[in-house]
Structure 1
Amino acid sequence: MAECLRSCEICEISPGIRFCMDCEQFFCEACEMSHLKTKPCRNHVFEIADDAKSAVKSSFCKLHEEKFTYFCNTCTLLICNICLPKTHKTHDFCLINDAASKLRSSFGNEVQKAENIIRIAKDKIESSRSIHKNFEDQADKAKRNIEEQVGVYVNAFNNTKNVYLSSIEQHKIKQSQQKNQEILNLANEKGRHGEVLKKTKSLIDGQNNTLLLSSFSDMSGTLRSIRDVHMWTSKPSHVQFDPVSVKLEVDKLIGKINFLKPVIENIQVGDRVRLIKQGVRVRSQHSDSYIFLSNQIGTVSNIREKTVYINFPDCSNWSCLHSDLQLP
């Protein structure tokens, strides 16, 4: 620690190793203890003199090395006893304590205002964080709702698809079984009729007239049935799918997305607001006439319960409901 070069400003004997930040004076340790015992000074703050070097320097005039005594309101400068008669004698000045007292009172109000602003800003931050969290939750919920809604239609489409495919498959199996049975029956009849036809041809080519005549009735029936064989076959039912000819508007099927501006919760006189809906009908405060305003922005001029009066660029004192307004 550097050696202290100043004497105690109270006893002027002992070294001034302590510095009172409130009185801006150097003290020895004994005078410091006496100083702190007095009622007006019991809360004064002391520092080691060398540590308070910057505060000590700021308390003395650099030009004259004299302690500042006055404050010049005209120049907003601290001045010493020599500065005053030389350059500030015609200015508005006062003692440092008087100036500081006035400034403290003024600063007190400013500090209080600043504290209120900081408190409001803090509340605003918390509110904004809450609003942001709600916004993100709403956005995520909207995405989940879209997924669920699309899932409902996808499941419905899949179920309908499965029903269609199953019905076509069952129809195909039934028709195939029927057709295969017809083919088998036709093949059997073909074979039987082939044998009968062969026998008939041999009788026609032979010399046994008695046998030919006795078999005439059976052969005639057989030949008729052979002619009817090709009538046994049938065509299966035709399968056809007719897609919807109307243009599918998926957005109308699922739903619509709207990005809505927030409704004002705490509206105040002087706030700029916008009418939410196009063509909202509002009524004049002083007449029963009506006008349609299309999404205009105005300034709130008065509030009475749920009714808000707004000044628009082209008209003034028009009223509408609180719920019809949003931030511009």
Structure 2
Amino acid sequence: MRFKSHKRGLWALRLLIVMIGITFTVEFWSNDKPLLIVCDTGVFFPILRYYPETYFMKGEDLEMDYLTSEFNIFVKKHRAWVIWPPYRHSPYRLSESNHPVPSAPCALHVLGTDEQGRDLLARLVYGTRICLTFGLCVAVFGTILGIFIGAIQGYWGGKFDLYTQRLVEIWSGLPVLFMLMIIANFLTPSLEFLAIVMALFNWRPVSAAIRAEFLKARGLPYVLSAKVLGATDFRMMWRHILPNAMATGIAQFPFLVNSGIASLASLDFLGVGLKAGTPSLGELLQQAKSNLHAPWLGIYPLCMLAIILILVTLTGEGLRDALDPGRTS
């Protein structure tokens, strides 16, 4: 595989996979809930299930707070065996330290806390996962939409392609961030909603690449032979032309991921992205702007954002070079 010969892209992909593995399993190593509780009353998995206070003591029908003294009494009374995550902080729990917030890195909070006293490392990793998820969703939806539009444009050609291309140019000229800000002011933003809306504006690079491949391929002998044999338009598009045109479309995928991540960080920085309290790299950067005396609020998320964008870009370059039929090595 030619991708293996692209050393930078290969190492970037490996590091990206490691980062995805760390962030998507963060609940198991950074949480304020135990992984497992074994006692005489049963076996509990708080990391996977919701348990009210009534499971462990006389209380209300609310989720158990496992860091309270009441839970410690339960553990001693029932001689429970508890397995905790290595880092006992969630991105939503307020610090119990007496230090003023945002507090600097210390033994309790290795990267410090934000302006509300929440652990910065937990919010950084959870926010990174949200950014990666958002970028992947935008890239998937945008790629599917771009392939569909580019395929019908390139296959039909002629006046249909001419008029459609003018509409595409008008659509691509719309200011994406301003449109998202306007929509977010009227509707409650969520990760899924923002990903779909962002994908509606991010399909243009894929569409252009697929359109060019279809325009080139529709006059080739294998397509004309299939048409003479009675193949339908749908069969020629999706069974004959598309498999040969997919390489250029797939090469755009990592760059759509980057675009989605950067857009989400920008929206959260402006305060019109995900709902308040959601861990996000953009939200941390916004806090850093308001707390210039706490540089750790900006340094860590900025470095994380830069690392993600660099790794995805290098992976995309390696994929593009590997799928380029004009390259021999």
| Structure possessing the higher relative contact order (Cα contacts under 8 Å, 6 or more residues apart) | 2
Larger helix share, 1 or 2: 2
Normalization by structure 1: what TM-score?
0.20
Larger strand share, 1 or 2: 1
Normalization by structure 2: what TM-score?
0.20
